[in-house]
A = this chain, B = another copy of it.
């Protein structure tokens, strides 16, 4: 960590900063410039928040050189991580298609969805059975029966299964049916849940929080990695901004930024960010072009009668057409999509 001192900082104030640093077992190197003096803290700063120093008397700015994450960092693991989900590999050359309805509603609905996903070259079937809801008065999902329907449909079509866990108490049940455990945006900093997923037997899909910086997102991944589960896939799904024309603002820049900082695979969910079906195909294409390792797309055999998020779901036909366009773009980047080349 680097500490920049006020140019009026007194020697007593500087001694105070030294004291705090040493109390944390750090060495301090001081260098005096023309306008400012700088203190360099040497030692293990990972466990220390810059807030620890910001605002100490005489301190002007604190620059954290060590990131709040360690295990998710490229420096720690220079090669890209490959995450196996069932028999699919995420993070390799293939652009992996993950698709399905927002919520599992019935045997018929999930069977129709699985048929559409497989037909378009999808590899992983997603569907919610425990739904987080902004309002307690909305539909909250089918629970365990939904898990059985989801698994059955996936198996009949050779797909892996991805679904969300809302709490620690659901991990065991969901792990019995799913190949990939999704952590929703609202839970990105639910630390007891991340800890518990670090002990789970399944890979984790970690959605970015609506107002999470990329550094906080990678630090959240560190929770899972630190607890012993190295299989984490990151998912960009839009951040909250002032713009209301879309439900959230899809931050596609995050894909190349994360690729530079971390070894973890990154997929993109264009459906939740957009909130409108008609925006999904173009955003899906852009996500492949920007370098995402996969797409998480909401589809529904009959969007107009979906129990949730229908309006942002693609029909089977729209999904197939979108997958084909994305396949051509992936080909321009030398990557197969949905398991097959153009």
Complex partner residue of A241 from B249, B252, B276, B291, CB under 8 angstroms: B249
Q: Does A120 contact B (CB under 8 A)?
A: no
Q: Please provide the chain A residues from 221 to 269 with a CB less than 8 Å away from any CB of chain B in the complex.
A: 222-223, 226-227, 239-247, 249-257, 260
Q: Are B277 and A255 in contact (CB under 8 A)?
A: no
**Could you give, for residues 170-193 of chain A, a 1 whenever the CB lies within 8 Å of some chain B CB and a 0 otherwise?**
000000000000000011011111
In the complex, A52→B331 CA distance in Å? Answer: 35
Q: Does A138 contact B (CB under 8 A)?
A: yes
Chain B residues with CB under 8 A of A282: 255-256, 289-291
Among A252, A274, A291, the one with the most B-chain Cβ atoms within 10 Å of its Cβ is A252
Query: How big is chain A's contact interface, by range?
Result: 35 or more
Q: Does A148 contact B (CB under 8 A)?
A: no
Q: Which 8 A-B pairs have the closest CB atoms?
A: A55-B311, A211-B211, A289-B289, A328-B332, A167-B192, A186-B189, A286-B290, A68-B135
Q: Given contacts A20-B305, A289-B329, could you give 15 more A-B pairs where the C-beta distance is less than 8 Å?
A: A2-B2, A31-B40, A46-B135, A51-B309, A52-B308, A56-B310, A68-B135, A213-B245, A240-B242, A241-B249, A250-B252, A260-B278, A285-B289, A286-B287, A332-B332
Task: Give 8 CB contacts A-B under 8 Å.
Answer: A33-B42, A34-B42, A51-B311, A52-B310, A213-B243, A246-B253, A249-B249, A286-B287
